Amino acid sequence: MSGQRNAGTLDLLTVPQSTPLDVPSSDITLPEAGVYELTADLLFIASWNFTGRHVAAIVAQWFNVTTGTNVPGSNRWWVHDDPGGSVGAVGLASVWENVVVRALVSVTVPTTFRLRGIRGTGNGSAATTANVQHAIQQNGGASQNLIVWRKLAD
């Protein structure tokens, strides 16, 4: 038993740091008891348009909607730190990376899981906090946010 879907874009710019937000269209309901592998292939992106140091951090994690808890060990961090003298020191620039978030879960009843995203910055400067765009997003109209689940055992 397995399945897949494409998740939507999550814009993290306008939310406070360390605030978890649900990734749109990322819910997966596992229909029966068993051990499952959850895999999300995501595109993390940070963009900015100012000079000086910028630090972007994005976290994605699996969340058990049924129990209201994070899935242990599923956090995946991505950090970009530029001192302001290299990539995108002046003007609009972006960096991105594909990130895989995996979890093994055991359920005894039908259970719903979803992805959550969290924004953070490392240096806390006003420019970084206000102007570094953080997103888990689609790229060029083709979804980069593929979610796959499969049953491994009863």
Mean pLDDT in runs of 10 for the chain (154 residues)?
88 78 92 96 76 74 96 85 56 74 96 90 49 57 74 96
Model confidence, pTM: 0.81
Average pLDDT, the chain: 79
Residue 61, C-beta contacts closer than 8 angstroms, at least 6 positions apart = 20, 70, 71, 74, 75, 76, 101, 115, 116, 118
8 Å CB contact between 152 and 59: no
The helix (run of H) or strand (run of E) holding residue 126 is helix 126-131
Residue 76, C-beta contacts closer than 8 angstroms, at least 6 positions apart = 59, 60, 61, 99, 100, 101
Domains of the chain listed by start with CATH number:
2-153 (2.60.120.760)
